[in-house]
Amino acid sequence: MWTRPFLGTTCKLDIIYNNSCEAFNSSIVEARFKSIIRILEDIRTKMTRIVQKRKLCDGWKQNYGPLVKAKFDANKKDCVDWQLI
C-alpha cells in the first residue's frame, strides 16, 4: 500500500497541455493552405483573441464566468420552494 509521502505531486500526463495544443492546431487548419504571410496573420489574430479572453477571465471573482453565475442564481431562486418527497 502506498502512502502519501511517496506519491509525487506533479502531473504524470500532459493531457491538458496536449488537448490545448490540439485545439489550437485544429483552429488554424484552414490557414495551412494560405501563403506564409496569411498564415502568420491568422495565427497572430487567433493568439491575440486568446490573450484578450484570458485578460477578460482574470477579472472574474469566481472560477466561473458571470453568465454562469447569473444562470445559477436564477435556478437557485426557482428551486427555493422545492421540498424533498
Domain for residue 74, yes or no?
yes
pLDDT-above-70 percentage for the chain: 79
Question: 13 versus 31: which is more confidently predicted?
Answer: 31
DSSP letters along 27-44, please? HTGGGGGS-HHHHHHHHH
Identify the pLDDT of residue 2: 46
- Say if CB 65 and CB 76 are below 8 A apart: no
Domain for residue 84, yes or no?
no
Domain for residue 1, yes or no?
no
Domain count within the chain: 1
Work out the average pLDDT over 47-74: 89
Domain range for 46 is: 10-78
Identify the pLDDT of residue 1: 44
Domain for residue 5, yes or no?
no
